Amino acid sequence: MEHLRHDDPARIGPYVLLAALDARDGGRPSPERRYIARRPDGDGTVLLCLPRPGIDAARWYAEAQGAHRLSSVPGFLPVHETGHDPSGAPWYAAPYAPALPLSDALAAHHGPLPVAFVLALGVALARSLAAVHALGAAHAGLCPATVLLTSDGPRTTGFGAVRAVGPGRAAESGQEPASIAPEQLTGGLPRPLGDVYALGTVLAYASTGHTVPESAELPLPLRTAVSGCLARDPAARPDAARLAAALADGGAAVRGGAGATVLDGVFPVPLPAQVAAELVRQSGEVLAAELPVPAGTPTAPTTARS
């Protein structure tokens, strides 16, 4: 969470911006500009997203509406409102809950996240992808920057980032280039196994700090699964459902559990302490944030004291 800068908009649609969610310096680039915003009456705090410069606004808005229709899929950011600013710029909003981009979580933890947590993160994300794939869709935008950590599990943003820029222009989408499957970089359409490749880079980043590490850098409980995700040949990658099951088995083994069912239901592995503390700090700052006073608004006169 960062203070607004002079080149940030002050207001989008019915919302006044309070802060930027993403770090401006040293953070990982996101396909979207993400802000914490609030209605002028002080009610209704949201996470508000805009397309990054250079992305086709009409395509991006169509993808935002697609994300709205998929809001019931667990693990997706629950988009509840879409619209256009008077200037014509599109936006979408989701209910605000304290959230950290994955890069901020690693910064708070001072390095890669614990293996048990990364395995649980992988299960949650793989299950979300499997649900989307079962509907005949693909995320087409997953990367470390589009994963947000919350107190009750991960949320993904950036849905359709690749499709939003048009065929054959995946590298311009704002999705991190290392997370774009090789077949998409050469002009192929986004497919479910491309999402699996992207998930491999997310788990690699969370566990090592690098999106495409050497195999030996990966923690042993993740090595086989992540290496399979990053296979250049899509046919050599597991589908999302098989990946979720493999990661669940790995997580149960790491924690000494009796089976993969311990990963069912609520996100089962506690957030690392420093990450949880950062979420609490962000929550406090948002609660205490005051709406900016518009330029030219008269202030109450002060009374001189003797």
**Which distant-in-sequence residues (6+ apart) come within 8 Å of 266 by Cβ?**
152, 153
- The pLDDT value recorded for residue 293 is 59
pLDDT of residue 265: 45
Tokens encoding 194? 């491309």
| Predicted confidence pLDDT, tens digits, the chain (306 residues) | 788 888 888 899 999 999 999 876 656 668 889 999 999 988 889 999 998 887 888 888 998 988 888 878 889 999 999 999 888 889 999 999 999 999 999 999 999 999 999 999 999 999 999 999 999 999 989 999 999 999 889 999 988 887 877 766 776 667 788 899 999 888 888 899 999 999 999 999 999 999 888 889 999 999 999 999 999 999 999 999 999 999 998 887 777 654 433 334 446 678 999 999 999 999 999 988 887 655 444 443 433 333
Q: Are 11-97+284-288 and 100-263 equal in CATH topology?
A: no
- Reduced 3-state DSSP string for 268-285: CCCCCHHHHHHHHHHHHH
Neighbours of 43 (CB within 10 A): 7
pLDDT of residue 95: 94
Strands (E), the chain: 11-12, 15-20, 32-38, 45-51, 81-84, 90-95, 100-101, 147-150, 153-156
The two structure tokens encoding residue 271: 């957030």
Q: Which CATH number fits domain 100-263: 1.10.730.10, 1.10.510.10, 1.10.3720.10, 3.40.109.40?
A: 1.10.510.10
> Which is the CATH superfamily of the domain at 11-97+284-288?
Phosphorylase Kinase; domain 1 (3.30.200.20)
At residue 185, the pLDDT reads: 84
CA distances to 78, 219, 227 from 136, rounded to whole Å, are: 19, 33, 25
**Domains of the chain, residue spans:** 11-97+284-288, 100-263
pTM of the model: 0.88
Q: Which residues pair with residue 94 across a beta bridge?
A: 47
